[in-house]
Amino acid sequence: MSTDAKATKILARTFFHQLRSSGYTPTQVIAVATELIDLVATDIREGDKPSAAPSITSNEESRPAA
């Protein structure tokens, strides 16, 4: 097993144990895993699309003129 595969297993096991020790039920852990898979799938699908940088406005810019 490669070092990357070992690290991935360790990370997954650690994350799982942290979720369970924080009170997550097995069903909730599955929901988290499903959400992670959805995020990865979305990232792969949109991988070729350039991401738009969010526009940041300060509170002063968004206030109506007095």
Total count of domains within the chain:
1
Is 53 contained in some domain?
no
The pLDDT value recorded for residue 50 is 62
Range of the domain at 13: 3-47
Is 34 contained in some domain?
yes
Whether the per-residue pLDDT at 48 is higher than 70: the answer is no
Whether the per-residue pLDDT at 25 is higher than 90: the answer is yes
Neighbours of 20 (CB within 10 A): 13
| Per-residue pLDDT band at 3 (split at 50, 70, 90) | confident
Q: Please, are residues 32 and 19 in contact by the beta-carbon 8 Å criterion?
A: yes
The pLDDT value recorded for residue 2 is 86
CA–CA separation, 63 and 26 (whole Å): 47
The pLDDT value recorded for residue 66 is 45
What does pTM read for this prediction? 0.63
- Tokens 């810019």 belong to 61
CA–CA separation, 33 and 11 (whole Å): 13
Average pLDDT over residues 26-52: 90
Is 55 contained in some domain?
no
Angle (CA) 36-27-12 rounded to 5° is: 45
Is 20 contained in some domain?
yes
